Structure 1
Amino acid sequence: MLYPINLNIDKMKITIIGGGKVAYRKAANFLNFNKTVTVVSKEFIEEFEEIKEKIDMIYDKYDKKYIEDSFVVVAATNDKQINHEIGVYCNQKGKLVNVVDDKELSNFTVPSYVKRGELLLSISTGGNSPSLSAKIKRELEEKYDESYGEYIELLGLARKKIIEENKDIKERRKKIKALIDLSIDELKEKI
């Protein structure tokens, strides 16, 4: 069973082994969270040209030396045996590893998600139905549009102001709880 967790990856070294579509998608996802990653492959699909300035690309075959100091590893080659080798090594060394073609060897998966500023909605079917995850993601993207990024930021600012101005814990909680019923314009007035 998977346990939901949000990781602060700012100080973690992340390496992706593979240069195909899945590796590209994984690299692009990390970039959505402002994280530079190292991607190792003998060949890269054309899409990597779009992000090559934002990632560290190593043109080489897989070698354990590329993941020894990584905390998070994604095995995304088109060779099941290499992916297996990476997964076994990472599990033995206590690293987080996502083996894209072996759910059982992975100790983490990356759910589908909708990101609106600091609002992060994750969708997972535990790998059982990526199609359902994609459907739910589309529905959430419609319901929680881009304006929620600003809304979350304003909620945080208003919460901080309430905490600074109210010493009474009960009063503070009451005011903070009431914030979520306000519109963006009403929140702007509170700040």
Structure 2
Amino acid sequence: MRRLAEKTLNSTTAEVAAGHASSAQGAPHDRRIAPYPLYLYLDGQPVVVVGAGAVAERKIATLLERGASVTVVAPDATDEVKRWAADERIRWHERGYRTGDLAGALLVIGSTSDEAVNRLVFDDACEAHQLVNIVDVPELCTCIVPSIMRRGRLQIAVSSAGAAPTIARDIRLGLEEAYPAYWADYIDLLGDVRMLVKQRVEGPASARRPLYEAVAASDLLERIAAGERPEAEDVYAAVVMPLLEGGMR
């Protein structure tokens, strides 16, 4: 468990697989080329979702959690999507898709049952060099949304680049068992201690790295698993200060 903690302090691994269309006409990408893993900060960023059924609803919910500015284009919608529109959490164009609806979007998600519409959305997005994901149609995607295991700020993503989504899901379920819910509190605490170290310990990043490693190597994870909730200041005093006083500065 401690080794897991040591690997987690400085960075957590997550993946949003992103590629690029091979032409402005939206030709499917070469699937022999591995996608590039990437995280996107979507807070305040424009995203267009074409479709408003049950699958689209789940996509929209996640986008709203991430702070995206969501516009939905669909002639009908689930009750939840209608509520979001009524509450002005999203913009809803209550009609079918038209070329031009994607203007200004950073990310485009297509989730309709009409293959022709999905293809048009893909082509339009590619022509404008926008990231596009047509749900469950890997060949019409320039980015792939992976299967996510989330524990607060810790996110671990798994993607098979559309080749075996069931396997990706099974791996995610295994990760959920390996990283119980209390990891969210653990990651928050590590982040708080890290911030204190950055604020108080001068010098290059390499000088602070041993301090981060010492915190991760401590018994914090075991204590949190047992129900304790240590404060960042207490951890700093108990773990970091003795090292600084011993000459690690």
> TM-score scaled by structure 1?
0.88
Residue 72 of structure 1: CA displacement? 0.6
1:11 is matched with which residue: 17, 29, 44? 44
1:56 has 2:91 as partner: yes
Per-residue deviation, residues 89-119 of structure 1 (Å, max 9, x unmatched): 1111110101224322311010011222211
Between the aligned partners of 1:50 and 1:136, the Cα distance in structure 2 is 34
Deviates more, 1:154-163 or 1:83-92: 154-163
The answer to whether the 8 A contact 1:80-1:101 is kept is: no
Residue 186 of structure 1: CA displacement? 5.7
Match of 2:244 in 1: none
Match of 1:162 in 2: 197
Between the aligned partners of 2:109 and 2:69, the Cα distance in structure 1 is 14
SS at match of 2:210: helix
Alignment of 1:1-191 (within 5 A): 1-49=34-82, 51-52=84-85, 53=87, 54-167=89-202, 169=204, 170-182=206-218, 183=220, 184=224, 185=229, 188=232, 189-191=234-236
Q: Which amino acid aligns with 1:14?
A: V
Residue 147 of structure 1: CA displacement? 2.0
Between the aligned partners of 1:124 and 1:157, the Cα distance in structure 2 is 30
Residue 140 of structure 1: CA displacement? 1.6
SS at match of 1:64: coil
Per-residue deviation, residues 116-148 of structure 1 (Å, max 9, x unmatched): 221111111111122112212222222223322
Number of residues of Structure 1 aligned to a counterpart in Structure 2: 191
Between the aligned partners of 1:46 and 1:172, the Cα distance in structure 2 is 51
SS at match of 2:144: coil
Deviates more, 1:107-116 or 1:171-180: 171-180
Per-residue deviation, residues 28-54 of structure 1 (Å, max 9, x unmatched): 221232334121110113453564433
Determine which structure has greater relative contact order: mean sequence separation of CA pairs < 8 Å that are 6+ residues apart, divided by chain length. Answer: 2
Unaligned runs of 5+ in 1: none
Residue 180 of structure 1: CA displacement? 1.6
Between the aligned partners of 2:184 and 2:69, the Cα distance in structure 1 is 22
RMSD of aligned residue pairs (Cα, Å) = 2.1
Between the aligned partners of 1:45 and 1:63, the Cα distance in structure 2 is 21
The answer to whether the 8 A contact 1:14-1:38 is kept is: yes
Taking structure 1 as reference, are residues 28 and 178 closer, same or farther at Cα in structure 2, changes over 3 Å only?
same
> Could you tell me the percent identity over the aligned residues?
28
Unaligned runs of 5+ in 2: 1-33, 237-249
